[in-house]
Amino acid sequence: MADRRFSRRDFLKAGGVGIAGATLFGVAGCGEEQGGGQGGGPEGLMPRGDIRIVMVTHGTAADPFWSVVKTGTDQAASDMGVTVDYRAPERFNVVDIQRNMDAAIASQPSGIAMTIVDPDALAGSAREAANEGIPVVVLNTGQPLWEEVGAITYVGQTEFDAGLEAGKRMAEEGVQNALCVNQEQGNVALEERCAGFTEGLGGNVRELAVQGVDPTAAENSIKTALRNDPDLDGMLTLGPQGALPALQALESGGNEDLMFATFDLAPQVLNAVRDGKILFAIDQQQFLQGYLPVVFLTTYAQYGVTPVNEVATGPRFVTQKEAEDVIELTKQGVR
């Protein structure tokens, strides 16, 4: 007798991603008609007005990347008609993130969206929430672990693969000796980006740790590294808190011939891409990383539906050709 089970792989082959996308935007679209679950559509398991979601991230308020994530979160809360409590440390501190997770679990919300920036410290918190029956969506950081910790999905990019593609692009430009600037030590996602970059470049990559929360100190560290290693012909930064000091270092250090690229967008980054000072910026569409977890946790709490696999938001590469079109959207806080 033939096996009639329909696996996740079968679902995807049959166009499950398209089906899931149509379902997602159909549900999101009916949010306005429902008025936050107050009428117009099926109430499901609970009205949207009763849904409360907590988002716990490692991103500091000073980082322009995370301000866009927060914009996406706020927009989703408004569109879906739910309450979202966004919690992030003032400075990158794993202990503070753990405290925020403990408080989130204790409040027994309808769902938790979280970053697993330090698996040793935070994977247990994700498992605890899932074991207590709180749906979890992992975003931005923690892609290899989302199924293991019992989350319903992951929203973000595969960091190693994104770094790999960045390395390949830099190699095509002739780069052989590069600097990989890490602005947030202890963030496993940034370590994966550097590792992927090293493999993709196929050349020599030196890692440099800087303090992203201290732009002046970061700029001085980058200047020193470039001055001490004249063979460097490329540099990759892993986010705006590394990219902006790097731009300052290059402008004052006379390293015009060095190929420079970065992860993640910010207005100054895009201006530099447009002006040819940055070769490309890797866009992981962080607005979606704030927006989609709220949508997925809402539809799971209300209708019991969720994507069957992780949802990739990147990498996309913004080059000089596309930069001008993206700049306008950064002014609105969505790119």
Note whether residue 328 is domain-resident.
no
If asked whether residues 175 and 243 sit together in one domain, one would say yes
If asked whether residues 35 and 135 sit together in one domain, one would say yes
Long-range contacts, stretch 11-14, CB < 8 angstroms, 24+ apart: 11/308, 12/308, 12/309
Note whether residue 250 is domain-resident.
yes
If asked whether residues 128 and 239 sit together in one domain, one would say no
If asked whether residues 151 and 166 sit together in one domain, one would say no
Residue 310, Cβ density class (10 Å: 0-12 exposed, 13-18 middle, ≥19 buried): middle
Backbone angles phi and psi of 208, in degrees to 5: -125, 125
Identify the segments of the chain with pLDDT beneath 50: 1-40
Note whether residue 138 is domain-resident.
yes
Residue with tokens 């009763």: 50
Residue 50, Cβ density class (10 Å: 0-12 exposed, 13-18 middle, ≥19 buried): middle
Note whether residue 321 is domain-resident.
no
Q: Give the per-residue pLDDT at 41.
A: 60
If asked whether residues 148 and 247 sit together in one domain, one would say no
If asked whether residues 89 and 188 sit together in one domain, one would say no
* Full residue range of the structural domain in which residue 184 is found: 159-283
Q: Give the per-residue pLDDT at 44.
A: 87
Left if phi > 0, otherwise alpha if psi is -120 to 50, otherwise beta: which for 55? beta
The model's pTM:
0.76
If asked whether residues 97 and 47 sit together in one domain, one would say yes
Note whether residue 73 is domain-resident.
yes
CB atoms within 10 A of CB 225: 17
Note whether residue 326 is domain-resident.
no
If asked whether residues 203 and 274 sit together in one domain, one would say yes
Instruction: Pick the last residue of a domain from 265, 283, 301.
Output: 283
Residue 249: name the closest of 286, 282, 224, 270 by CA: 224
If asked whether residues 174 and 226 sit together in one domain, one would say yes
What b-and-e string marks burial along 103-142, b requiring 16 or more CB atoms within 10 Å of the CB?
Answer: ebbeeebbbbbbbbbbbeebbebbbbbbeeebbbbbbbbb
Note whether residue 86 is domain-resident.
yes
Mean pLDDT of the chain: 87
Q: How far apart are CA 259 and CA 147, in angstroms?
A: 38
Note whether residue 324 is domain-resident.
no
Angle between helices 119-131 and 94-106 (to 10 degrees): 0
Structural domain tally of the chain? 2
pLDDT, tens digit, 9 for 90 and up, residues 228-283: 999 999 999 999 999 999 999 998 876 778 999 999 988 899 999 999 999 999 99
If asked whether residues 165 and 148 sit together in one domain, one would say no
Q: Residue 211: what residue type?
A: Q
If asked whether residues 103 and 178 sit together in one domain, one would say no
pLDDT, tens digit, 9 for 90 and up, residues 301-318: 999 999 999 999 999 999
Q: Give the per-residue pLDDT at 334.
A: 83
Q: Give the per-residue pLDDT at 253.
A: 76
Domain with residue 274: its CATH number is 3.40.50.2300
Residue 290 CA, chain-centre distance (Å), reads 8
Q: Give the per-residue pLDDT at 257.
A: 83
If asked whether residues 183 and 252 sit together in one domain, one would say yes
